[in-house]
């Protein structure tokens, strides 16, 4: 008996890319058993948009009881889904055509593996493309999430039982729930494999990317660092929680530009205060090194 697959796509008032996103889902060489669009209390209900593009009957729409942000919307979707395997996609990104087939076949052949995720191809409005998030360890460990080696959820296919084991995504995080989920999956002993090739997803860059909210990102990273401060020390040595915070501040300084110099100074002070930490430092002003989607 083959495993069934549910796709979960949260959306909040960002409908301009949704048709293209859904087209990539329906173009999969392994057909989805269920496609769920989670309407996270958008002011204009998503079912009206879907009706206008002729897809109202093709997807299952679930509207949240309140605005829950991506982590809560994903939980709302997968908990009401029917599939054995859950695959996530953001409402502005695209799946490569063989994504679900390759991942489902791998999980069917490897019952001891809890999930699989992959690399991405970034693309910009001007037509540029670039390999993205392509350097990851073959199997996820907690220490990877601490240095931004995250599971990017728009590439993930995971068994329902694995999500139930960790309780889903932590809704205290409005963004960066992927970082926290990566850490907790490693702590729980889940086996999440990485397939670098072929890429699983096309990641769209545009001015409205939620990940561009630098202040919120710094706040959320600080919360994650504090929550997992003991784990930082266990994985990378004494003082690593301070290095974690320094990395977050350095990244914030790069993305906000005008805070670059003060952020670099503060980050360096935090690094110096932790001479025994083995956690990698972000020390250059290279956009590639300071972008959280890049490998560290």
Q: What is the mean pLDDT of the chain?
A: 91
Rg (CA), the chain: 19
Give yes or no for residue 240 having a pLDDT over 80.
yes
User: Residues 246-283: pLDDT tens digits?
Assistant: 999 988 887 776 677 888 899 999 999 999 999 999 86
**pTM recorded for the entire structure:** 0.91
Q: In what order do the strands lie in the sheet with 85-88?
A: 60-63, 34-39, 5-11, 85-88, 157-159, 115-118, 192-195
Of the listed ranges 80-94, 133-147, 280-294, the least confidently predicted one is 280-294
Contacts 24+ apart (CB under 8 A), 164-167: 165/190, 166/190
Give yes or no for residue 190 having a pLDDT over 90.
yes
Nearest to 251 by CA among 242, 260, 243: 260
**pLDDT confidence of residue 212:** 56
Give yes or no for residue 290 having a pLDDT over 50.
no
208 band by pLDDT with thresholds 50, 70 and 90: low
Q: Are 86 and 120 in contact (CB under 8 A)?
A: no
The answer, yes or no, to whether the previous bond of 198 is cis (omega within 30 of 0) is: yes
Query: In this prediction, what percent of the chain has a pLDDT beyond 70?
Result: 92
Domains, the chain: 5-204 (3.90.550.10), 213-290 (no CATH)
Q: Is 168 left (phi over 0), alpha (psi -120 to 50) or beta?
A: left
Structure tokens at 142: 């907690």
């Amino acid at each position: 008996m083959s495993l069934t697959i549910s796709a979960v796509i949260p959306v909040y008032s960002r409908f301009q890319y949704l048709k293209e996103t859904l087209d990539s889902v329906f173009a999969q060489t392994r057909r989805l058993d269920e496609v769920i669009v989670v309407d996270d209390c958008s002011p204009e209900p998503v079912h009206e948009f879907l009706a206008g593009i002729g897809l109202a009957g093709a997807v299952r729409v679930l509207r949240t009881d309140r605005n829950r942000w991506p982590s809560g919307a994903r939980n709302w979707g997968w908990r009401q889904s029917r599939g054995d395997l859950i695959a996530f996609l953001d409402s502005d990104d695209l799946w490569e055509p063989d994504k679900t087939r390759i991942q489902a076949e791998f999980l069917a052949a490897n019952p001891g593996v809890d999930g699989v995720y992959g690399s991405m191809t970034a693309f910009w409005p001007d037509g540029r493309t670039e390999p993205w998030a392509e350097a990851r360890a073959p199997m996820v460990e907690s220490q990877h999430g601490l240095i931004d080696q995250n599971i990017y959820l728009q590439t993930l296919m995971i068994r329902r039982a694995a999500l139930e084991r960790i309780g889903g995504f932590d809704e205290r995080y409005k963004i960066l729930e992927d970082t926290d989920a990566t850490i907790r999956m490693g702590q729980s002993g889940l086996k999440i494999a990485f397939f670098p090739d072929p890429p699983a997803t096309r990641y769209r860059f545009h001015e409205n990317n939620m990940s561009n909210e630098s202040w919120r990102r710094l706040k959320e990273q600080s919360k994650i660092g504090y929550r997992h401060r003991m784990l930082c020390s266990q994985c990378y040595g004494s003082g690593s929680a301070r290095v974690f915070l320094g990395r977050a501040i350095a990244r914030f300084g790069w993305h906000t530009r005008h805070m670059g110099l003060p952020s670099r100074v503060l980050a360096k002070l935090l690094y110096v205060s932790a001479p025994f930490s083995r956690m990698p430092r972000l020390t250059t002003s290279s956009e590639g090194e300071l972008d959280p989607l890049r490998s560290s």
